[in-house]
A and B are shown apart, each in its own frame.
Chain A
Amino acid sequence: MKRYLLSVVLGLSTIGILCTYYLYGAVDHLPEFKLITVQGDAQEGTGIELNGHYSGRMRSESLTVSKDGSKYRSRETLRDEMLSAYSWIYFGDMAQWIQDHRQFMRGKDQLEGFYKDEEWLIYVTGSTQVGLSVERLNLKTNEESEYTTKIPVQMERGFYNVVDVQKIKDKLHVITLQDTKATQSQQPTLQYFHNVLNFDDGTLIQSEQITHWKNTKKNIETDYYTMYNAGAPNNYLAFTVTENKISDKKENSYNSERIATHIYVYSYQTGKLIALPDPKQQFNPRTNYYHEGDQILYTTYDNQTVQLSRYHLATGLEERDYATLKTSQFGADEVQSVFISGNRAYVSLMNGTSPKVVALDTADGSVRYVGEVSFEGPDSERAKEMKLLQLYNLNINEWVS
């Protein structure tokens, strides 16, 4: 037995030390925070996450706080890292579709290429070489089918991307962004095209250029975007056109400032592109636009106030500041950020060192939820720990794996 002493001591002490470490020593003693419901339906707080840092350690700790508690980045394992891959793709509508139609959704990641109504889930992708590839899932029969339609393009190897898909009666409408050829008066530019396909067999009925954007102002750069309007049926496609004044453009430096935003709306029914009236108020670079059904919502905010406004696309009328939120209503000092998701406007507020979240119903601006970040520990340490917590990013977590 004596000659085995070294192996026995080595083996037993190693097991003992490692077990002790993982039973007692490996606890990081980081403070726990939680988003608690102060007012409204607690269910509204599901998925709300506040991201930031806790700076009470030598190295700042990245964390996320939700109604389930706090998740520190340093506690993540290889499994967490692998399961959160593509988390920026697999959330919102996509998360729901993946849960409902897992097989059909495989490898499909272009959110703008989806359309869903009660009968169909459709996915369209495109390239100049192949044309438009349409994959369809009949939700009633669960049958999948697909076809490809060649589309006329001006540049054989140019840029080509699907930005919106709608099914109206027996036609499939696909808006694409593609390269156009240079003309005498204009450089080659990216323009939007409206393609109409027979939904049953994919025959091309019409392909028409719907925008003719061109940049004519000196020292002004213009960017064009389409607003994502979810996969639900919609009669309109909205465009954001932003003008940025270039203040510095050299070989190694570039500075610009947004000076104006214009909204254009394309109607699938009439085939017309119209400009919405610009807000008469002074341009606010912190204005965010969202397309929801037949209205465009926009939020403006300063340190103390958040305003919700909207355009009714059917009439083109603007309903400005139909809902207003003031920080004083919630005993807060400052508005940090605002964003809209799924019929709710989420506002992140700061009350001293305590972050708060308010969820407003975008239909009428009524308050549906108020939550506050609380420290889950002794009251004597609350003030100190809250001071060390900086939460600056608000989002809704709906991802699936």
Chain B
Amino acid sequence: MNRYLKLVNMEIHRFRYILFSLMGITLLLQCGSLIWTLQRVVSAKEKGLTQAEVGFAIPKFLSFPWAIVNTKEWFILPILLSITVLVLYSIIIWYRDWFGRSTFIYRLLMLPSARWVLYVSKLTAILTFVFSMIAFQLVLLVGENMLFKTIVPAGMRTDSTFVEASTINPVLNTLLPKQFEQFIYSYGLGIIGVIVIFTAVLLERSYRRLGILYAIGYVVVCAAAILLPAILPALESSSSYWYPGEIYRIELAICLIVPVISCCLGFWLLRKKITV
């Protein structure tokens, strides 16, 4: 347990600058665009200018969801950037140990603990990065709402709920589902994705050139297995042999089997096949 926590801490420590940079970029772009948009509209309203004169829409009352809709691109851009970086890092987190300075993987594999701890600690680190970015976005939204109330005078604004603001933008709505059950589905699928990527990387590290083919094949098979029950209704011209409740249970079973097999395969590759 101690070794696992040390490894997780090491992975978080290694990524800290990138993580804080992503948070900084998100803060700057979202708050910057929000301030610019709000000041422009508030100033136009104070001067009594019309829509035709300023060239952009001026609502009767401003609301926080309205502000998010009107700064949509600047909200989406840093989120997409963060997602891209985190997806890429879930591959790099392994390769940096092989190709980094003094082939760090030698030392990691020589540690006097089970090798699967290495796999689990890297997975925990990636999940910590993802959920901290989500938590940061939540806090940022609260801050942005306060910013909105500071810039827009009380007479010019209407109240709105926090969820109304977070669901008005399709990307924020996907990242922060208002049902906890949907949160489990969305991030559960994300976790399965990371586990499959980890196993694909280990396949490549174990079998090298041939491993690339194995890795691609493995990712394709896992993706097909998970997607097939969900897209089955669309594939068939009419009703399916399976009832919807059964398709749902099949999907749940596959979503349990795929990560279990991937983890077992990953642990086995780390224990028996990885060479440095």
Interface residues of A (CB under 8 A from B): 3-4, 6-7, 10-11, 13-15, 17-18, 21-22, 25-29, 57-59, 74-75, 77-79, 82-86, 89-90, 98, 102, 106-110, 400-401
Contact = CB atoms under 8 A, between A and B. Distances in A.
B167 interface: yes
Contact of B135 (A13, A28, A58, A89): A13
Given A18-B134, A77-B181, A401 B162 contact: no
Contact of B238 (A28, A102, A109): A109
Nearest to A17: B135
Contact of B233 (A11, A15, A18, A86): A86
B150 interface: no
Contacts of A79: 181, 185, 248
Contacts of A29: 161, 163
Given A7-B13, A82-B251, A106-B243, 8 more contacts: A14-B132, A21-B176, A29-B163, A58-B65, A58-B160, A83-B245, A84-B244, A102-B243
B179 to A, nearest CB: 5
Interface of B: 5, 8-9, 12-13, 16, 63, 65-66, 69, 128, 131-132, 134-135, 138-139, 160-164, 167-168, 176-183, 185, 230, 233, 238-245, 247-248, 251
Contact of A22 (B9, B63, B183, B233): B183
Contacts of B134: 14, 18
Given A13-B135, A86-B239, A86-B240, A7 B178 contact: no
A85 B244 contact: yes
Contacts of B238: 89, 109-110
Contacts of A86: 233, 239-240, 244
Nearest to A27: B163
Contacts of B66: 58
13 contacts: A4-B9, A7-B9, A10-B132, A13-B132, A26-B180, A27-B163, A28-B167, A29-B161, A58-B65, A58-B66, A74-B167, A77-B177, A77-B185
Contacts of A83: 244-245, 248
A107 B128 contact: no
A58 B9 contact: no
A11 B132 CA distance: 8
Given A4-B5, A18-B134, A86-B239, A25 B179 contact: no
A26 B163 contact: yes
Nearest to B176: A21
B179 A75 contact: yes
Contacts of B248: 79, 82-83, 401
A226 to B, nearest CB: 19
B128 A17 contact: no
Nearest to B167: A74
B178 A28 contact: yes
Given A6-B16, A89-B239, A28 B181 contact: no
